[in-house]
A and B are shown apart, each in its own frame.
Chain A
Amino acid sequence: MSRRRTGAILFHQLRLLSRDPLPIMILVVFPLLLIGFLKPMFALALRTHGYPGANGAEQVVPGEAVINGFYIVGMTSFAFFVEHGWNTWERLRASDATSPEIIVGKALPFLAVSVAQFLIIFAIAIPLFHLHSRGPLTPLIPLVAAFALCLVSLGVMVTSVCHTVQQVSAFAFGGLVLFGALGGALVPLEVLPGWAHAVAPATPTYWVMRGFGSVILSGHSFPAIVLPCLILIGMSLAFAAVSLRRFRFTDSKASF
């Protein structure tokens, strides 16, 4: 893989994102709005489940960041689909760039966007919603990075299995709601039925929320996020493996 060519595609993708910044702004604004009116409900849930001093921000801030972070799956996939809509996909394929360079160059900016989204939400939520973490915040950086990697890999996988942009929308939105709910990001896992507890570990949201909980609510440090990070990286590799198997550069995709 050539760093020069990957870099050219990466900067090109960043330029495309910078020309249409609204979706990225929404990734930050929507969760902040939701946090504002969901915080009391989460405070109640946390207080009745063993955290008497919690104000709700400890759960709702990472939860909303995670749920809205799921939009990165769709955004990553749309970045590929729009190339088909603009008839530029064949141009990229006919260029000197190899298939891995195209995928990495197009997907990597969304990794940065995803990490930046978490950083901005936390940076605003700490003073605005009085988010107090019992543990140090630095372990959250690798946790967020691992989750972002998982989302972007899932986005590439969705691209590889979907043929129309409508399928991508269905996958991305369905995944957001399903994974968000089952993983304890939409509502605290403690209030879900027993069967949900059993299947939750199959979702990336469960592991990222578990990592957040270990640090913010339980006051743990780096050792507590090792397992969630490893599992999120493992899931990313699984998504990447499916992508490798299913991604057909010659497939025609129905875009917008």
Chain B
Amino acid sequence: MLQVEGLSKAYGSRQALDSVNLEVAEGEISALLGRNGAGKTTLVSIVAGLLSADSGNIAIGGIDAFADPRRAQANLGLAPQETGVYPTLSCRDNLRLFTGLAGMGRSETRTAIDELAELLGLTELLDRRAKELSGGERRRLHTAIALVGRPSLVLLDEPTVGADVQTRSQLLGVVRNLARNGAAVVYSTHYFPEVTGLDASVVILERGRVLARGSINEVVAQHSVGTVELVFAGHAPNVAPLLPTNSVSTSGSCVTIKTHDTAAVTAAILADLDTHAVKLRGLTVSEPSLESAFLELTDRPNPALIEGVVDVA
């Protein structure tokens, strides 16, 4: 549904996107992860036709988005990062504008609004003015506007920012439902549990470059290591000889071991501590995770030195 090839964009001397490639198939949710300023919003804005690119290609549904933007973006729904609703109008009138722009007739508009309101818990609020809604309700309306035209490509830029637990859960349910019905979803977020909850494919951006992409399991396996942390009374003993193949660092009373197999390392070290075992005061085991993969990738001192994109898909 969406193919992005070699997309680059600079704001003056700052490279916002640097040869970004991305593919999102029908029914796929692709999560864009990155720090603030990593290029997520720039990427979403270019795909939505709000910003021009310096170079690269975008195809939506096989249509070149730069050569024929209107046709390519005809079935696109965008929920920008900032909540964008008409506060003086009712929720229904907010949605009605966008069904009108999507070419829906009266009865189709009524059906689309009622269905979406049901999904997002807005049914009771449809005739209430947007300015009278709570922050979470307004966020749901904001997302509903992006979806009311029944788009086949949905771009959601941090849709759950500021949302309460219920709103977040409802929004995630709607996103899953969209993908089940065949829409391609680009979902930019800072919240890792959302990505795992959506079972999305992952794209990690840093300073405009794609550092990794693939399924959650693939990215975690490739880029994340678990840690076993031991805290001793007094100076930590030298445990490195016990674990020759793992990365061990010692600082004062604390020993940190990075490993892909936390269970085996924990078992081995506890068995071999011998007389040092009585001085052990704490043990923390952290499994490999998407968050640690993200930190591992983005905390590298100079991302520009990373050679190429690690495509684990």
Interface residues, chain A, CB within 8 Å of chain B?
4-5, 7-9, 11-12, 15-16, 19-20, 86-91, 93-98, 250
A16 to B87, CA, bound (A): 10
A18 to B93, CA, bound (A): 12
Q: Say whether B265 faces chain A, with CB atoms less than 8 Å apart.
A: no
Q: Say whether B89 faces chain A, with CB atoms less than 8 Å apart.
A: yes
Q: Flag if B89 contacts A15 (CB, 8 Å).
A: yes
**Residue numbers in A under 8 Å from B87 (CB-CB):** 86
A97 to B74, CA, bound (A): 9
Q: Say whether B86 faces chain A, with CB atoms less than 8 Å apart.
A: yes
Q: Flag if B70 contacts A96 (CB, 8 Å).
A: yes
Q: Flag if B85 contacts A88 (CB, 8 Å).
A: yes
Q: When the two chains form the complex, which single residue of A4, A9, A86, A94 contacts B97, counting CB atoms closer than 8 Å?
A: A9
A95 to B146, CA, bound (A): 9
A93 to B76, CA, bound (A): 12
Q: When the two chains form the complex, which single residue of B45, B83, B101 contacts A87, counting CB atoms closer than 8 Å?
A: B83
Which parts of B36-61 form the interface with A (CB within 8 Å)?
A: 45, 48-52
Q: Say whether B103 faces chain A, with CB atoms less than 8 Å apart.
A: yes
**Residue numbers in A under 8 Å from B238 (CB-CB):** none
A5 to B98, CA, bound (A): 9
Q: Flag if A87 contacts B82 (CB, 8 Å).
A: yes
Grouping DSSP codes into helix (H, G, I), strand (E, B) and loop, the B interface class, with mixed when no group exceeds half, is loop
Q: Flag if A16 contacts B78 (CB, 8 Å).
A: no
Q: A16 with B88: in contact, given A5-B100, A8-B101, A11-B100 (CB under 8 Å)? A: yes
Interface residues, chain B, CB within 8 Å of chain A?
45, 48-52, 70, 73-74, 76, 78, 80, 82-89, 93, 96-98, 100-103, 129, 145, 149
A8 to B106, CA, bound (A): 12
Residue of A5, A9, A90, A250 contacting most chain B CB atoms (<10 Å): A90
Q: Flag if B101 contacts A96 (CB, 8 Å).
A: yes
**Residue numbers in A under 8 Å from B86 (CB-CB):** 12, 16, 86, 88
Q: In angstroms, how far is the closest chain A Cβ from the Cβ of B173? A: 23
**Residue numbers in B under 8 Å from A7 (CB-CB):** 100
Give the 3 A-B CB pairs with smallest separation, nearest first. A8-B100, A87-B84, A94-B78
Q: Flag if A91 contacts B70 (CB, 8 Å).
A: no
A90 to B87, CA, bound (A): 16
Q: A5 with B101: in contact, given A87-B80, A93-B49 (CB under 8 Å)? A: yes
- Closest A-chain residue to B79, C-beta based? A91
**Residue numbers in B under 8 Å from A89 (CB-CB):** 84
Knowing that A19-B129, A91-B84, A94-B48 are A-B contacts, what are 9 other residue pairs whose CB atoms are under 8 Å apart, sorted by A's residue number?
A: A9-B101, A12-B93, A19-B88, A90-B45, A90-B48, A90-B78, A90-B80, A93-B50, A96-B103
Q: In angstroms, how far is the closest chain A Cβ from the Cβ of B74? A: 6
Residue of A9, A89, A91 contacting most chain B CB atoms (<10 Å): A91
Residue of A5, A89, A95 contacting most chain B CB atoms (<10 Å): A95
A144 to B131, CA, bound (A): 36
Q: Flag if B145 contacts A91 (CB, 8 Å).
A: yes
**Residue numbers in A under 8 Å from B100 (CB-CB):** 4-5, 7-9, 11-12
**Residue numbers in A under 8 Å from B84 (CB-CB):** 86-91
Q: When the two chains form the complex, which single residue of A88, A96, A98 contacts B102, counting CB atoms closer than 8 Å?
A: A96
Q: In angstroms, how far is the closest chain A Cβ from the Cβ of B183? A: 16
A131 to B304, CA, bound (A): 78
Q: In angstroms, how far is the closest chain A Cβ from the Cβ of B147? A: 12
